[in-house]
A and B are shown apart, each in its own frame.
Chain A
Amino acid sequence: DIVMTQSPLSLPVTPGEPASISCRSSLSLLHSNGYTYLDWYLQKPGQSPQLLIYLGSNRASGVPDRFSGGGSGTDFTLRISRVEAEDVGIYYCMQNIQSPYTFGPGTKLEIK
């Protein structure tokens, strides 16, 4: 299985400040078709996960443009340009280039 790791696991952020989450995979997520099979999900408190970013850098419908995804190969980053109170929750990266899909352990973002 492809192992996904994230850092940090806990991220306290002051509202209005930027935040960055790192995700690494044990195998390259670049497919021969040119797409990078890395998605980001946010699980807000008491809710199910919701899609934020797909194929490494594409924002899902309705996701604010303060969220951006980047990276390549095995190293990826989710950035929030200015954190808002509604951004609290656990952020997960997930690979689906190879079965079984695997998730990172999650990064818990909290407001300072």
Chain B
Amino acid sequence: QVQLQESGPGLVKPSETLSLTCSVSGGSMSDSYWSWIRQSPGKGLEWIGYMYDSGGANYNPSLESRVTISVGTSKNQVSLRLTSVTAADTAVYYCARESCSTASCQHYYMDVWGKGTTVTVSS
């Protein structure tokens, strides 16, 4: 079965770039969307965006100017890049697979989640 593992630096300085990787094992990356979601005590669960296997992406407008989700350096990886971070970006970051829930893929659900990785923004 598919498993996801997030990795990356746990501490990032303000104004720098946060880079995380989601490693996908046990299955193919095709036919799915790949999402990033974060969770901070102040804001609950926040959807960051997703990429799909044709290379396109859809981002939360609140982060769109700073975020990039793309295939990682390895074919079985999804990367998240968030620029110009501030303390408000401190959170647990999760990656999740979005799978098609209907025959014609009119809806996707997040059926596999990674364990999450904690990122603190601080000097």
Contact = CB atoms under 8 A, between A and B. Distances in A.
B45 interface: yes
B41 to A, nearest CB: 12
Main secondary structure of the interface of A (DSSP, over half): loop
Given A49-B113, A99-B58, A54 B47 contact: no
B44 A54 contact: no
Contacts of B61: 99-100
B120 to A, nearest CB: 18
Contact of A60 (B37, B109, B113): B109
Interface in B72-123: 94, 101-102, 106-111, 113-116
B24 to A, nearest CB: 15
B47 A55 contact: no
Contacts of A49: 37, 45, 94, 110, 113
Interface in B36-76: 37, 44-47, 49, 58-62
Contacts, number: 59
A31 interface: yes
Nearest to A49: B113
Contact of B110 (A33, A37, A51): A51
Contacts of A37: 107
B47 A103 contact: yes
A92 B45 contact: yes
A99 B62 CA distance: 11
A48 to B, nearest CB: 4
A106 interface: yes
Interface in A26-40: 31, 33, 35, 37, 39
B114 A51 contact: no
Most chain-B CB neighbours within 10 Å: which of A58, A61, A92, A101? A101
Contacts of A61: 111
Nearest to A61: B111
Contacts of B62: 100
Contacts of A99: 58, 60-61
B47 A31 contact: no
Interface string A36-64: 01010100000111110011001011000
